[in-house]
């Protein structure tokens, strides 16, 4: 392997730039390689031919593994998104905030037991409301 710099006239062959990890071919009649002062190494043909089965083996073994990893990742992401959505829905349904239109003006939800002291106060309010309604009815007549 010989080291050369770009913009020099080079004989035909394969050249590799280790800084950019780039492989370029120069036609048999010669030519120049791109880059400002980049160093290129000329690779012998026998080296590339002997590396071809190794690179092919990486594709044969690596591509299915990579594909399986993508499928597992995709399923994991989708599962986690659905679990997050379900957890969010569950958390909002378990909220202590009243539902739309639900008031609890007396401080208790319907059906909750009322303590004795609270019931007396509410009875007085009910009596006052009934008295005012009766008074309005008499005034209207």
Domain ranges for the chain? 2-43, 53-93
Give the pLDDT confidence score for residue 56 in this predicted structure: 92
Q: What is the pLDDT of residue 77?
A: 97
Those residues whose C-beta lies under 8 Å from the C-beta of residue 1, and which sit 6 or more positions away, are: 41, 42, 43, 44
Query: Residue 10 half-sphere exposure, CB side, CA atoms within 13 Å?
Result: 24
The pTM of the full predicted model, rounded to 2 decimals, is 0.41
Residue 12 has what pLDDT? 83
Supply the pLDDT for residue 111.
Answer: 67
Per-residue pLDDT of the chain (141 residues; tens, 9 = 90+): 566 666 677 888 888 888 888 888 888 888 877 777 778 888 888 988 898 999 899 999 999 999 999 999 999 999 999 999 999 888 877 766 666 666 656 566 666 666 665 556 677 788 889 999 988 888 776
State the greatest distance between any 2 C-alpha atoms of the chain, in Å, as a whole number. 118
At residue 6, the pLDDT reads 60
Q: How many CB atoms lie within 10 A of CB 10?
A: 19
């Amino acid at each position: 392997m010989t080291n050369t710099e770009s913009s020099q006239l080079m004989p035909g062959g394969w050249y590799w730039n280790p800084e950019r990890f780039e492989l370029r071919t120069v036609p048999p009649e010669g030519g120049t390689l791109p880059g400002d002062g980049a160093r290129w190494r000329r690779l012998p043909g026998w080296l590339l031919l002997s590396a071809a089965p190794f690179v092919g083996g990486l594709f044969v073994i690596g591509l299915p593994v990579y594909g399986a990893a993508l499928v597992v990742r995709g399923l994991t992401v989708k599962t986690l998104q659905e679990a997050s959505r379900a957890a969010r829905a569950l958390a909002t349904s378990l909220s202590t905030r009243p539902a739309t239109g639900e008031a609890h003006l007396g401080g208790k939800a319907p059906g909750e037991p009322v303590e004795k002291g609270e019931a007396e106060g509410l009875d007085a309010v009910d009596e006052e409301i009934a008295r005012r309604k009766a008074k309005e009815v008499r005034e209207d007549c």
